[in-house]
Chain A
Amino acid sequence: MAKEPIRILTKNWDIKNSNTIEAYIKNGGYKALEKAIKQMNPEQVMDEVKKSNLRGRGGAGFPAGVKWGFVPKDSDKLKYLCVNADEGEPGTFKDRYIMTLDPHMLLEGIAITSYAVGISAAYIYIRNEYIESIAILKTAIQEAKAKNYLGASILGSNFNLEIYVHRGAGAYIAGEETGLIESLEGKRAMPRIRPPFPAAVGVFNCPTVVNNVETIACVPSIIEHGGEWFAGIGVSKDGGTKLYAVSGHVNNPGVYELPVGTSLQKILYEHAGGIKGGELKAVIPGGISASVLAARECDIAMDCQSVAKAGSMLGSAGIIVMNNRVCMVEALFNIAEFYAEESCGQCTPCRSGSHWIKNILERILHGKGKTDDLEIMLSFIPGIMGRTICAFGDALCGPVQSFITKFRDEFEYHIIEGKCNIRNKLDIL
């Protein structure tokens, strides 16, 4: 039984001038906000989101409604929302689409979320390079304010909300939620030790909700159609659709909206047009922090639990596809270089471990590997994984462990022969 493709986040993308408020309203925009404010109290909104099984789209997959519930209700401090639009995870480029093609969906989501949690100021912490999105968002905020969807006494209620666009400081770690908060406060983006969690003590020492752009953008349709409807789209405990951003060796790279739990095969072959330039060798399913899957492991459903069961993670669902011409040593070096560069430098294991790993891989790439190099790198993992302030340490370990264990022969060839087996073969062909 062929189902109609469900379009929640992308429904307006094909419309002309989709980023204007006129186009958005014409397609039913801001109805959900009106419904929330006029027909629901904040608890009911939060309950709907809990029912929807919406999980965070930024990487950790934490249930959004549950997170909102952690914000203390009796606190007399201001509460803040930080929308994580830093989109720094390599292989991830979905939030930018939302912000450029349908900024009002994000703004409506922010307004509803703020209404539910009792927030009156929201920041969109946006990757500094997203110049176009920044301009579009700023215009959209003005438009929405002019129509009283934002600002004071929204739609005649006593709900007030200001949204600020804050340009990021240009570091991957500024996307980590507490790094983001520090950066927003004008400091170096250095993650904070938890507890306290941002929901209790966040930006300016006030309770703060941090959510990814896509997470927030899901909220209007949840309110419009109900949490159960949203939950029914995905899989158990993981509702809705997901933007899968496919890049690398596929014929049609791009962002695809599909129900959570769609099979990876289907995404690659039916939507992304199949493998380009060779045979499928490996896939990184959720941004480079996710462990790599060998081609034989790619028969999985793309939801949080299934990908975790396969030994990786859904992460940001930035799917990076590699064909059999890719040298895995080079690929891992590329990743390791990124981590060595981006570690904020506060935790000993992350700071020195990332750099050491990069150095070893560089040596192997240059034909100067030693036979115990692989064991040395693998032996670092227990000393880094779960031993750092933020998840960066874990993010660094996943690729190292999976690349080396799954493609060990390639690494060994490099070490023993001092050259690349893949290149070697390609040259012969």
Chain B
Amino acid sequence: MEKVKVKINGKTVQVESGKNLIQAARLVGVEIPHFCYHEGLTVAGNCRMCLVEVEGEPKLMPACATYVREGLTVLTDTMKVKEARRAVLEFLLVNHPLDCPVCDQSGECKLQDYYMEHGKYESRFREKKIKRQKAKRIGPHIVLDQERCVLCTICIRFCREIVGKRQLGLFSRGDYACIDIFDIQPYDNIYSGNVADICPVGALTDGDFRFLCRAWFLQSTESICPGCSRGCNIYLHHQENKRYLGNGRRLFRVKPRYNPDVNKWWICDLGRYGCTFIDQKRIHEPQKRQNGSFIPVSWNEAYFEIAQLLASLTKRDSSSIGVILSPHLTNEDLFVSKEFFTNLGITDIHFSAVSPDLYHDDFLIKEDKFPNRKGAELIITNSGVASTDELLEKAKNGAYSCLFIIGQDIVKAYGEEHILQCLKKVETVIGQFSNENQTTPLVNYLLPAATFAEKCGSFINFEGRIQKIKQAFSPLHQSKIDWQILVELAKEMGKIMPYNNEQDILKKLSKEYKHFESLDYQKIGMHGLKLNGNE
């Protein structure tokens, strides 16, 4: 890319041509305030908040719509610029309802932030404010407050340019102009939640987050959406300090995290609103099925009994145990699982990547509903069976006395009838799951596992990009991270697996697997890394 030299507030900087002044200013640490500009959308230039002085131009220029060229000299902090910002803010607040105390955007609102930084004038407005529609549910997830809108049209452009639908529009003229849906056609699309993120103010907010928690109570943790093999980068917004908020939920919302190579600024609604499983229908403690009903047992009891069983079975015949893993597991979980079972001499280890839901599109959503199929493919090699189908077939034919299932809801994937058939001749089913699902009622031992939000680790997305997840909070109730359960079980069986944390595992993994060669979390970085062989 060709670079040009520009001077911003006296600092000279090389900027790729084609960049605008908002982007260029960031390179010298200057943030030019703006409402209507979004890097992922076309430029509207309507809010007039970004006006700056450009040498040789008599008028102030919109930084969002002014592009760098060789020798351009820009000033962003002159009196004239400051006055202009103040004027825009004063005009924007003319009809604003000033209901910040009950606004979910409060604390992360550009209008608030810019007013603190650039506004601060005495109110001179004595006229009547224009009343508009408030708290209007315009779709399954989004609530519109027309009075808080700054009419930047970001939402309209998002809808048109990213979703490809015209579901939001600008109505009326002049100061009566407002954003709305067309007639009674709802704002309903699979990316609908994104408008709440990009609306710079509290005009479009997330109905699912409404009045749940003040934004400033939330902590933010970088993660990866587990919803499909795209591996969209996300933030988990959570808090546990005020347990009285949100009816005990810890995860309050999911926000997209910018990754230029994976999901840009966006995530789909399936991922955004699908993560609630973290706090719902969780398995609280280890359980064992006795006379048809589950009774809680301690981890020690569970380990003891399962260790006994595995030991006695493998002593006789290691091939009497089959293992089904899930591409929902992290590379770290998969590696430890593989090692654990291989150490016991078990060879029939496979993962199931079957999902009944195949919805996909040509934007973000992939047909493959697992975040780590690639990882599973790379790690689960040299298996005694070619597929989970084959493994299940063998089970049906009585090949296994014990089936160890980690993270895969096989009933949901293969249907109840088929699975019941397959399990008929299996004496003991051990299941390690985070949530209750259709398979959990069928197991003999149920071990509570952590969700992706409760652990660190890595996933490999559909194009071979390894990305890391971080732990937002500790595993709920008595649940434990999958690899940890196996390390402890190994210990119970007198075998030490020397892993105290994910770093230890990745180190070993990177030594044993060519694709993971010399990897560490630092190298993976916040935007992930394409693995060798996937350039």
Interface residues of A (CB under 8 A from B): 171, 173, 188, 190, 193, 340-349, 351-356, 359-360, 363, 370, 372, 376, 380, 382-384, 386-389
Contacts and interface: CB of A to CB of B under 8 A. Distances in A.
A354 B175 contact: yes
B88 A349 contact: yes
B49 interface: yes
Nearest to A343: B174
A351 B91 contact: yes
A342 B62 CA distance: 23
Contacts of A345: 151, 170, 172-177
B43 A383 contact: no
A354 to B, nearest CB: 6
A46 to B, nearest CB: 29
A372 B122 CA distance: 14
A232 to B, nearest CB: 33
Interface in B318-370: none
A174 to B, nearest CB: 11
Given A193-B43, A347-B48, A389-B45, A354 B174 contact: yes
B126 interface: yes
Contacts of A352: 91-92, 94-95, 175
A363 B125 CA distance: 12
Given A359-B127, A388-B48, A342 B88 contact: no
B173 A356 contact: no
Contact of A349 (B48, B130, B172): B48
Nearest to B125: A356
B88 A346 contact: no
Given A346-B44, A349-B87, A383-B90, 4 more contacts: A344-B173, A348-B92, A349-B91, A363-B126
Contacts of B174: 340-345, 351, 354-355
Contacts of A387: 48, 51, 59-60, 84, 87
A154 B101 CA distance: 69
A386 B59 contact: yes
Nearest to A375: B124
Nearest to B124: A376
Contacts of B58: 386
Most chain-B Cβ atoms within 10 A of its Cβ — which of A342, A346, A347, A384? A346
Most chain-A Cβ atoms within 10 A of its Cβ — which of B49, B65, B127? B127
Given A188-B170, A354-B175, A346 B150 contact: no
B48 A363 contact: no
Q: For the complex of A and B, list the 5 residue pairs with the smallest distance between their C-beta atoms, beginning with the closest.
A: A383-B87, A345-B177, A355-B175, A352-B91, A359-B127
A380 B150 CA distance: 19
B155 to A, nearest CB: 14
A313 B81 CA distance: 28
Interface in B170-221: 170, 172-177
Contacts of B175: 340, 343, 345, 351-352, 354-355
A349 to B, nearest CB: 5
B83 interface: yes
A280 B330 CA distance: 86
Most chain-A Cβ atoms within 10 A of its Cβ — which of B43, B127, B174? B174
B47 interface: yes
Given A193-B62, A340-B174, A348 B49 contact: yes
A71 B84 CA distance: 34
Interface string B104-136: 000000000000000000001111101000000
Contact of B88 (A340, A348, A370): A348
A359 B91 CA distance: 13
Contacts of B177: 344-346, 351
Contact of A389 (B46, B95, B172): B46
B523 to A, nearest CB: 43
B23 interface: no
B59 A342 contact: no
A373 to B, nearest CB: 9
B153 interface: yes
A356 B94 contact: yes
Nearest to A195: B65
A376 B124 CA distance: 8
A360 B127 contact: yes
B151 A346 contact: yes
A134 B151 CA distance: 36
A351 B127 contact: no
Contacts of B125: 356
B68 to A, nearest CB: 14
Given A349-B48, A352-B91, A356-B125, A382 B83 contact: yes
Contacts of B127: 356, 359-360, 363
A341 B88 CA distance: 20
A193 B91 CA distance: 20
Contact of A348 (B47, B126, B130): B47
A127 to B, nearest CB: 17
Contacts of B151: 345-346, 348, 351
